[in-house]
Amino acid sequence: MEISLEELAQALEHSDVQQGFVDMKTGKVCLLDENIADEDAFEHAMKMEEEWDHYLPIPNAVDMEERGIMEAFAGRQRDDVKKRLEESLNGDGGIRRFRYQVRRLLLQPAWDRFKHTAYREIARDWCEENQIAYHAE
């Protein structure tokens, strides 16, 4: 059984709003639909509980890693841009201000690529820590 590093990275990028699991029997990365009705969510949870031993929860990597990813991205920019991005991260609301600066500085495509690459690395590390075989597309 191998999981797709790409699917896991995409799940990690949304892990702050959607709980994800890896089905250790099939290698499938499963995300709970954020719009799922309470009754359906309960039914799904009960089904998973019956076979819990082969589901591994995906951690909330966004809350744990995103600020560090932002700081790393800022650190790779030219000095004037680096300063603006780093200053935007200071204090309450820093992540929101960082995202605003990324758009304002027309860095969105570069930020999206950088962030996705970072989540692929997090996915790779997570697989290795959990001794899960993976394949990269």
Judged against a pLDDT cut of 60, whether residue 109 lies above it is answered with: yes
Q: Express each pLDDT in 66-75 by its tens digit.
A: 999 999 999 9
At 79 the pLDDT is 96
pTM, two decimal places: 0.81
Compute the distance between CA of residue 24 and CA of residue 40 in angstroms, rounded to an integer: 22
At 99 the pLDDT is 96
DSSP label of 53 = G
Tokens encoding 61? 């990597």
Task: Give the confidence band of 47 by pLDDT, cuts at 50, 70, 90.
Answer: low
Distances (CA, A) of 135 to 3, 30, 106, 114, 122: 6, 17, 33, 20, 14
